[in-house]
Structure 1
């Protein structure tokens, strides 16, 4: 369940992550590819974050970010676009939660709740992942997931594994 009453206007929230090559550039390239056809427009973008790997921890660190977008695409068409961006950037799917040049996930789409074989909305593990919650809080701070504000979910994850890339050392 999503309460969008106090959230800035957008149609979807998308998470991006990379841990192969120039990670920050991969995020920028994926965003550009998502928007190049003109039917997706970024209305807010988080900063870039250095994050610890999740799931499979024996791999390089990630860069993660979130974007809020305006689009007329359906949730399934938006997912297809995200996957086409991953394919265009030569993402190889060898290991679940393993290394990737880019990961582009639809996290939230309007107030849609969906559970089908190809797409679950909101993303089923969004509330477990600091690497998603921290950048998401920048662009949709009033978002409510499963009846709780983001601050509730942020208090339940390890924030020490997420560092803003432009933060002072």
Structure 2
């Protein structure tokens, strides 16, 4: 069975953001794969939308045996279990959220579909906070 190196970025700006991130990490480790490395937690202002709620963000790397689309499905299940009912793509824009989990990299795969882009170009090339966190991995 193949194992894939995956990089995820997590963010939260509603409720107890630190607890939200810790809960998401526990679910990821239980259901997706053993976490290899963590970045520090970085507090940031919202990007691409207006809100008074500050984000806490973290990057992490792990190894998984599941496929990119199975990973996406599991991530969306975790977000939903934690109280995020609709994705930004469904809403047509960004808004405050309990948890957001993005797949930044999945092995050496390049994938572009209507529901999944790997690598996640915005996090790799456009968002300064993402690049700061990803450099720590």
Q: TM-score surpassing 0.5?
A: yes
CA positional deviation for 1:95: 6.1
Q: TM-score, normalised by structure 2?
A: 0.88
Q: Where do 5+ consecutive residues of structure 2 fail to align?
A: none
* Count of residues in correspondence between the two structures: 130
- Equivalences for residues 129-140 of structure 1 within 5 A: 129-139=127-137
4+ aligned runs moved over 4 Å, structure 1: none
1:24 aligns with 2:18: yes
Match of 2:121 in 1: 124
Of 1, 11, 34, 2:5 maps to 11
Match of 2:41 in 1: 48
Q: TM-score, normalised by structure 1?
A: 0.72
For the aligned residue pairs, the C-alpha RMSD in angstroms reads 1.6
CA contact 1:59–1:98 (8 Å) conserved in 2: no
Q: Where do 5+ consecutive residues of structure 1 fail to align?
A: 1-9, 140-169
Per-residue deviation, residues 56-109 of structure 1 (Å, max 9, x unmatched): 123311000000010011111111111111001011335622100000010110
Greater percentage in helix: 2
